[in-house]
A and B are shown apart, each in its own frame.
Chain A
Amino acid sequence: DVVMTQTPVSMSVSLGGQVSISCRSSQSLVHNNGNTYLSWYIQKPSQSPQLLIYKVSNRFSGISDRFSGSGSGTDFTLKISRVEPDDLGVYYCGQGTQYPYTFGAGTKLELK
């Protein structure tokens, strides 16, 4: 199975600040069709995960441009700029390139 490793496990941020979350996969996430199926989700307390970014860098409908995804192969990053209170929660990366699909263990974003 593809192992997804997220760092850091948790981080503190000031409102208005910027953060970067890293996600590394144990194998390349480039699919045979040329696409890279790496997604980012946020899970707010007592809620379901919500899709933020799909295929590395595409923002899902309604997602603020403060969220940006980048990377390739096995190394990916989620950046959040001008952090707002509603951004707090646990962020997960997930891969949909190889079965079984797998997720990272999460990065908890807290207020400093």
Chain B
Amino acid sequence: QVQLKETGPGLVQPTQTLSITCTVSGFSLTSYYMQWVRQTPGKGLEWMGFIRSGGSTEYNSEFKSRLSISRDTSKNQVFLKMNSLKTEDTGVYYCATHPGNYWGQGVMVTVSS
């Protein structure tokens, strides 16, 4: 069956870079768009961007300058990298298929020194 699981650091220092991996099973990344959505206390659910089945990306301009989404289809993994983290980036980060039919459990990220 379809499964998605995010792994990443629980704690990141301000100004540092966040890296999260989403490992999927039960489907091929070349058949689905994959998106990243975060949930923060300040802004609720925010769509961050996606990577298309063909490999091109689309980003929310709110994050565009510091966000990168990539993938390794051979490993069934999708990656999120975001730099210059701030305390307001604290929240739960989810990977999901697009248009939102399957979600991972999410990974809690705290940005603090």
Hey, which bits of chain A sit against chain B, CB under 8 A? 37, 39, 41, 48-51, 54, 60-61, 92, 94, 96, 99-103, 105-106
Option from B37, B45, B58, B94 in Cβ contact (under 8 Å) with A99: B58
Closest B residue by C-beta to A50: B103
Hey, which bits of chain B sit against chain A, CB under 8 A? 35, 37, 44-47, 58, 60-62, 94, 96, 98-101, 103-106
Contact present for A103 and B99 (CB under 8 Å): no
Contact present for B103 and A49 (CB under 8 Å): yes
Q: Which residues of A contact B106 (CB under 8 A)?
A: 48
Contact present for B99 and A105 (CB under 8 Å): no
Known: A48-B105, A94-B47, A102-B47. 11 other contacts (CB 8 A): A39-B99, A39-B100, A48-B103, A48-B104, A48-B106, A50-B103, A54-B101, A100-B60, A101-B35, A101-B47, A103-B47
Option from A54, A61, A94 in Cβ contact (under 8 Å) with B45: A94
Q: Which residues of A contact B96 (CB under 8 A)?
A: 48
Option from B47, B100, B104 in Cβ contact (under 8 Å) with A100: B47
A86 to chain B, nearest CB (A): 17
Option from B45, B99, B105 in Cβ contact (under 8 Å) with A96: B99
A94 CA / B103 CA spacing, docked (Å): 15
A100 CA / B96 CA spacing, docked (Å): 16
Given A48-B106, A51-B100, A100-B60; A92-B94 close (CB under 8 Å): no
Q: Which residues of A contact B103 (CB under 8 A)?
A: 48-50
B80 to chain A, nearest CB (A): 16
Q: Which residues of A contact B44 (CB under 8 A)?
A: 103, 105-106
Q: Which residues of B contact A100 (CB under 8 A)?
A: 47, 60-62
